[in-house]
Structure 1
């Protein structure tokens, strides 16, 4: 009997039904979900739920961004990562707290206000300091509101209505109180040493405020004449080459020789106090034999230099040199300053310059002798301490020489615009006039710049306030050591988990080698160094700093009530010291704290003091970019080790920087920046979040138009998966569910995969491996589900009777998959998973973000079943490949036109016969035979185990007009043109 080809059964098929649109329209729709979450109070409801359930707290402490501009893509990366951490921890059963914060003090904000003043022709120093600080506060408040809105637009959850601000009165009081703990424990001291100084900003800078750029510097080779040889009779001074030289004549030459130094900072020559050498370097005494045109070398003069560097010096000075002999035991040599006796010098430089041994001297570059100015470099300063060299104070805060310095007074090294002043060239000319300039040139090298003004900085000796990190502290917190450095290193090694582990090594090496912490800044906007110094006392005196707990308590109380501005109000010193000490005997310090001390103290007024902080004042995680090893991770570690005795965090996660698609650093001048606002406008925030999840954040991340297109394609495929689930779950009820034991093997295999994934997803989220989690979920959704399970079960879902066991089992599994995918993906695709959830569970108070990841029954995990279905899937791929050959050759159009013979090895054949392999391969029939019977014409896939061949056969029978399978029984039933299954479904 032939099928009735005119029959139309389209209305009898259970096609997917859903309002979930194929096109996301995220840019337009996401703001509505944000408003909805705020209206129903999702974040606060989660806190209430956590309290009721007595959940284990998880606290991610926010590293505060500066409140001074719109967000860039790096901000987006950082906040999205934090949000994925918080949401995933919450949905895995924790009480995941996130209090966003802002850094409100310091140069970034003060600099903006100064720029406004300069544009109006005003001078900041002429304005009342309290009024100026109020302008800074107002500026910060404005940008906090802007950035808060921009952060929330990214879908970031948190206590946005009550963030922490370092300029809040309580925060300022705590910062001052934390500083005063260093005053009390004796680790604070005032010292005079070289620090990185910005002439443009007129303040000392921390290492974290420095960035390195290529810079072209002047270079000079300078003669320092020998004026005395204390060890002239020591035979080891000269290393004779043949033994026949006239020792007396050579010693005489040595007494008239010059030692050659090389420097890239000619402006430091007026501050020279010594020349350093290394006892381990081979030095020689050289005679100038000949000179080229324009050389400043003199024929017959004798020069001392490193043997290894002689050729480079000869080339630079355009002369030829002959080695007279080796020179050793140089510590007895005394030199003259190059400016000794200079006209107009007023005797400023008429002093002896000692030649001293220094461990920092190498023969990698230069001359083997190092010009030493203790006021302008750390190595030089250490030499000054060791040998008690005089400090000089020739350079002012604005980068100019002091006005009364002979010859160079008032000249700038770096001027107010960040440009080179006259100082370098003036010194080169003076050296030449003195006959001290052997050679000159220029060199391009990496040089420190202020990351705010972008101007070069200098090393400048100036009185600053320091915390001694190697001084033993008698504060009763010696569990991890008695010095700040020891506590920090022990915390790094014993108390903190590092993601990635390289972060541990980086911070450890920095802490291990770092000098004392410079706390003071010569600025106006910040928390002041709340201390007093005794009039007439020296910094080395025991009573130089006033250490009084009652005074400290008054200061903190005043800051709590009126903020740090009160420090600058006339009469505050008298008020706070009254009745405790004589105010007239003490000076008030007006430097402000390094802003890194502010942010380093946040653990105290956020983690310790807030109800939504941490019970022990320690965060579970700090998460920032890799630059914060020298920034927030570093300062928080030092600060807490001084006041808590240990690190303020148990975990540290670091991410890389953002680059363009070519791997280049983003720059507005190049025009390769990617603004979060533009990405959101075109694609939506979920695409930006998916870019973060797909990327390896442990290295630098690339982003651009082509990359975002790829991300959008991945999103589209995931969205289609979710749409299939929704469409095929229409009308699903609890009564329809089928127990695990009553399910077909295919459904049990899907649940087994869910059990495997559940463990992998939770483990991945626990170690913050968002890329790994997403890759596993994406592969599962697009391969295990869309390409296999959905593909196989579409026939059942569309065509089986509504009450059939197989269809009910399939729908039960779809429901289970729905709950897991939506909650597993919710930390990443916050908007899309909310949309998916509300399509099934609408309601004013409904939200996927109020739901935990479902627990997985142990019975779902069936490893043996998993192995079996690995074999079935492998066989399916080979059958599908064989059918694709026929489709390409236009032998068939659909796999349902085929009923192939599969020739399999005995073990595989048994596996395939235990299931409906035709259903799995989506063919109308399949016959399983021994592979020993396979004809030569059978399809044999290349590069695979040769245990299966496929011989193509057309399906016998007619096409069912309802399910489209080709079966022999079609047309032999009550309903025309149907197979047995469809006829029964129609009743």
Structure 2
């Protein structure tokens, strides 16, 4: 029977107090609680006071290489939202990692300051005050827009700085700077002079509310309920043999009744089969006249009959779509002021997916309509005004808004239908009416529906044009440039490629006031745009000195020069699309010293495939001949915790400022790095709370490292390789055990340890090497998904729950010159340097706090490079060995936990363990102190099988008042009768 573990509780507690001061407990100024909302602003102030940004810039000049991430500009029209925070944090992590990996990084943030987003906000203020925008002088209005934008540039800059974003904040670019406006005008001039800029009539997406053309990137889609119509067009010219169409009417289906008055043609699919039917019966509420002869596609016949209430019919003829070529129909409103013929044209875009297989063409209000009608000489008329109303001379409908025209149009179509029935004429007009819910484009600013509308606009040609510089067109050049660009994720390549393949000519003009004007002249007599390099040069120089406002108050003669009469030219006042402006931003930034051109990286949200990625590519390829970027990284959108889009009406928005005030910026940054940014991300208060818990664990790891390193100097450090060390043999490592064989094995391991770090330390260094490879992979690929979860798991599972747990005894209780303690502290030093530098790109404030807690506030982790593990630390064989050891350890800890629950022991240090090991496990265990590894006082290793039970009993001996191990050598020294020999050596050293 073993001796009692402790003589009396009272005596033992007294002895504990006696030796408490001799235990090397962790000590650090790094607090457990981050208190980030208060500490982070203080750190920002410290960085500003010490000029950290300047130090970073100076250090960059000595860097090994250059890395350039060009910042896509947000609009300066409000505080930043969570999407801004996501994007800027991703960029910041990449920039900081590149810098700490040895590159010079110059990051110049930018802002879009022109165009409708700003103008709309200023106009909202006008409307609130009852002020007429059109009555305000243009230069006064532009000045108010400039003031508004400047206010929000400053506000957003402070928002981004609060997130810990490092940038050249005093060297930012904004599109409204005079130099920027001059550069934008110069880039327009390049397209003018190379022949790709032209003025033409094309259907563009038009906002009747904002009275301007919109880019695809300025449009969002919402479901609306629309009225659908089946409308009959009577035939007036039959090209078929046997007059198969005589007396018949072509039936079309439309979801936009307002386009019927501006119809100019019909389209049929050449390979679609059509039928002419004779209506013999209809439902009571049907609008189709009995006896009508109607033309529809065979594949759409059943749906038409059902939708129009036709109960009886006979098929008169079937014929291919090609047979319809040359047919002419009458406009359904003929006799009401729409007295023109409607030719039937063949179009490959016609399908039988919906409708009747026949499509009505309003060439001023649809891309396919426009192209087909233009190709066949059909007139394109402008009959809808800027505000969305029909022109005053539109018969019956002048002044009616197109979105209010459904009922008036239906009334007219009903009247002509009834008149045709009364006259015994072929069917025409309204055949059926219904409603449909479908997706429809809206302006993302006004949230109002848009229309397609043909207006004279300025375009950049995607295909070669007569008079341009020759060679491949812009589309072909852009697609070729994409071949040399990397995409992250790789799947996004196809998205951008398909958009370039399918896009029409680039409409760059807008009918607004706030922006850079398309500063060109058009000769009145010929309608030709003036292409003169000297004129363009004078305009650019004027903008550089006075900004784009100069276009509005300078005598045109100054620009036109001698020999030209200003009276012969129209001065263009359309402003350029803001996407063209931001697409020019590479010219503001990427031609400075210490910056790469093309940029190494563009990083924006997935919506920018139709926005900035595309406009930058087209602008740079069109003007410079090369793409402005080498790699494109795309991040997803931010949704709420349930996967819904964020909106104020749902009350599910997360505001970055609220997060920094409650949890701190580092927690928000950790959310970004713990998310899969390639996909749409989710965020909620609960998700942020979880991130706060993950942050706490990482912080606790840093705190424990700092505490355990208290007083550490490099003089204490051991070599990290297999070199001989001069440390004396620590006899206390060769603890007294009854088993002579075990004692010999322990001595052998001790001797080996003098030639290298202990196996446990070697394993930790190997894991650091592996983690560093993952960090390097992220640096190279810009894919940080998964890196910080790996670091968190390493901190939580391999350090806090494993390595630290095992090494606490050595660190707290071994003598200061103990080889094991020195080895552990040497590795802890490495761990602190590695983790702090690797965490620095993400947890910018916490990593700095950790660094300065150890090395003082004079330095900064953000001036350091990544800690680089040595190649020799990589030891996969050792890692495999530790995988087995940890599996065995789990068997032991499970048995210890059972013994604790059953009351056999109070803690694992009161246990002795009988551990059966297989032959392979015994080989792997050579040099392993199982008692140390399992936090037990004694472990007896014996041959066995993997399924053999691990047995636990109370250890023999007494409990040491200092280390709490139960050992037989406790009390062998009379002066320190409550200590084991190891602790006696430590207190008497």
Give the SS at the match of 1:792: helix
Equivalence map 1:400-549=2 (5 Å): 400-413=389-402, 420-421=403-404, 423-435=405-417, 436-471=429-464, 482-493=472-483, 495-538=484-527, 544-549=528-533
Counterpart among 296, 300, 304 of residue 295 in structure 2 = 304
In structure 2, distance between residues paired with 1:43 and 1:581: 52
In structure 2, distance between residues paired with 1:857 and 1:948: 40
Deviations 1:689-710 (Å, cap 9, x if unpaired)?
Answer: 0000100000010000111111
Is 1:550 aligned to 2:534, yes or no? yes
Equivalence map 1:128-527=2 (5 Å): 128-233=137-242, 251=243, 254-320=245-311, 321-328=313-320, 329-342=323-336, 345=337, 349-413=338-402, 420-421=403-404, 423-435=405-417, 436-471=429-464, 482-493=472-483, 495-527=484-516
> What is the Cα deviation at residue 474 of structure 1?
9.6
Counterpart for residue 104 of structure 1: 113
TM-score by structure 2 length? 0.92
Equivalence map 1:806-821=2 (5 Å): 806-821=820-835
Which 4+ stretches in 1 moved above 4 angstroms?
Answer: 1-4, 472-476
Counterpart for residue 553 of structure 2: 569
Give the SS at the match of 2:303: helix
> Any conservation in 1 of the 2:904–2:954 contact (CA below 8 Å)?
no
Deviations 1:92-145 (Å, cap 9, x if unpaired)?
Answer: 111122111100001000001111112222222221111110110000001111
Aligned in 2, Cα 1:787/1:351: closer, same or farther, shift over 3 Å? same
Give the SS at the match of 2:644: coil
Counterpart for residue 687 of structure 1: 667
Counterpart among 868, 874, 892 of residue 905 in structure 2 = 892
Deviations 1:866-916 (Å, cap 9, x if unpaired)?
Answer: 222222122111211121121222222211111111111112112224211
In structure 2, distance between residues paired with 1:700 and 1:372: 39
Give unmatched runs, 5+ long, in structure 1.
234-250, 414-419, 539-543, 933-945
Give the SS at the match of 1:376: coil
Aligned in 2, Cα 1:97/1:947: closer, same or farther, shift over 3 Å? farther
Deviations 1:309-354 (Å, cap 9, x if unpaired)?
Answer: 1222122222223322313311132111111112xx2xxx212111
Deviations 1:183-212 (Å, cap 9, x if unpaired)?
Answer: 000011111011110000000111011100
In structure 1, distance between residues paired with 2:855 and 2:514: 51
> Any conservation in 2 of the 1:472–1:482 contact (CA below 8 Å)?
no
Counterpart among 790, 797, 821 of residue 811 in structure 2 = 797
In structure 1, distance between residues paired with 2:51 and 2:833: 22
Aligned in 2, Cα 1:886/1:743: closer, same or farther, shift over 3 Å? same
> What is the Cα deviation at residue 777 of structure 1?
0.8
Is 1:89 aligned to 2:82, yes or no? no
> What is the Cα deviation at residue 954 of structure 1?
2.0
> What is the Cα deviation at residue 296 of structure 1?
1.5
Deviations 1:676-723 (Å, cap 9, x if unpaired)?
Answer: 111111101111000001000000100001111111111111111111
Aligned in 2, Cα 1:290/1:694: closer, same or farther, shift over 3 Å? same
Counterpart for residue 943 of structure 1: none
TM-score by structure 1 length? 0.92
Is 1:23 aligned to 2:60, yes or no? no
> What is the Cα deviation at residue 294 of structure 1?
2.8
Counterpart for residue 786 of structure 1: 800
Give the SS at the match of 2:845: helix
Give unmatched runs, 5+ long, in structure 2.
418-428, 723-755
> What is the Cα deviation at residue 162 of structure 1?
2.1
Counterpart for residue 236 of structure 1: none
Q: Which moved more, 1:139-148 or 1:879-888?
A: 879-888
> What is the Cα deviation at residue 858 of structure 1?
2.0
Aligned in 2, Cα 1:834/1:54: closer, same or farther, shift over 3 Å? closer
Give the SS at the match of 2:68: strand
In structure 2, distance between residues paired with 1:598 and 1:641: 15
Equivalence map 1:33-44=2 (5 Å): 33-44=43-54
> Any conservation in 2 of the 1:906–1:930 contact (CA below 8 Å)?
yes
In structure 1, distance between residues paired with 2:921 and 2:102: 43
> Any conservation in 1 of the 2:488–2:783 contact (CA below 8 Å)?
no
> Any conservation in 2 of the 1:473–1:482 contact (CA below 8 Å)?
no
In structure 1, distance between residues paired with 2:540 and 2:717: 64
Q: Which moved more, 1:282-291 or 1:55-64?
A: 282-291
In structure 2, distance between residues paired with 1:382 and 1:948: 82
CA RMSD, Structure 1 to Structure 2 (Å): 1.6
> What is the Cα deviation at residue 405 of structure 1?
1.5
Give the SS at the match of 2:381: coil
Counterpart for residue 744 of structure 1: 758
Counterpart for residue 727 of structure 1: 707
In structure 1, distance between residues paired with 2:318 and 2:502: 35
Is 1:917 aligned to 2:944, yes or no? no
Give the SS at the match of 1:900: strand
- The count of corresponding residues between Structure 1 and Structure 2 is 929
In structure 2, distance between residues paired with 1:256 and 1:521: 47
> Any conservation in 1 of the 2:59–2:863 contact (CA below 8 Å)?
no
Give the SS at the match of 1:9: helix
Counterpart for residue 634 of structure 1: 614
Counterpart for residue 420 of structure 2: none
> Any conservation in 1 of the 2:196–2:468 contact (CA below 8 Å)?
no
